[in-house]
Amino acid sequence: MVMGREIRQPSDVMFRHVKDTHESDLNPSDYVNGVRERMHKAHEVARKHLEAAARRSKDVYDARLSFHHYEVGDAVWLLHETRRVGVSAKLEKAYDGPFVVKAKVSAVNFVIQMDSRGSDKLIHHNKLKPYRGSNLSKWIVTVKNKT
């Protein structure tokens, strides 16, 4: 049913119930070897196409990826991920902040200072967005001036 045709079973070959005349003279071991070769070729073709599809998917993902290089002292927005029950996600704020990048742990991980008391949080770059405004809180200005 899956292939849209009747499948030959090993018993059909063993007992010569094969309907195709050119395969009715086959030795069962030759038939099995032939099927095995065709399956290996089909798997090779499928692997080749899967690798090509994976490369295309990666290229499309990388083209849409926005990667900002943040430095210590930069003001950033932090993605607001918590949602309140009963409130539409459209009506909630998308980002919190602004906050200050306090340290760069790696190319993609940053420590940001959340408030004037100095509470820190380790954040991945995909949850950050650069702050482009000019109205910064006093504590952010003082932290930026120290760096």
Instruction: Indicate which CATH number applies to the domain containing 127.
Output: 2.30.30.140
Residue 5: inside a domain: no
CA distance 137 to 95: 16
Q: How many domains does the chain have?
A: 2
Domain limits at 139? 75-146
pTM score above 0.75: no
Residue 17: inside a domain: yes
Residue 65 region by backbone torsions, left for phi larger than 0, else alpha for psi between -120 and 50, else beta: beta
pLDDT, residue 52, reads 96
| Cβ neighbourhood burial of 99 (10 Å; 0-12, 13-18, 19+) | buried
Residue 57: inside a domain: yes
Using one digit for the tens of pLDDT, what is the confidence trace for 8-49?
676 776 666 655 545 556 677 887 788 889 899 999 999 999
The mean pLDDT value of the chain amounts to 83
pLDDT, residue 100, reads 93
Answer for the pair 91, 83: CB distance below 8 angstroms, yes or no.
Answer: no
What number is the average pLDDT over the span 78-97? Answer: 86
**DSSP single-letter state for residue 85:** T
**Beta-carbon contacts of residue 121 (< 8 Å; ≥ 6 apart):** 78, 111, 112, 114
- Of 18, 34, 64, the last residue of a domain is 64
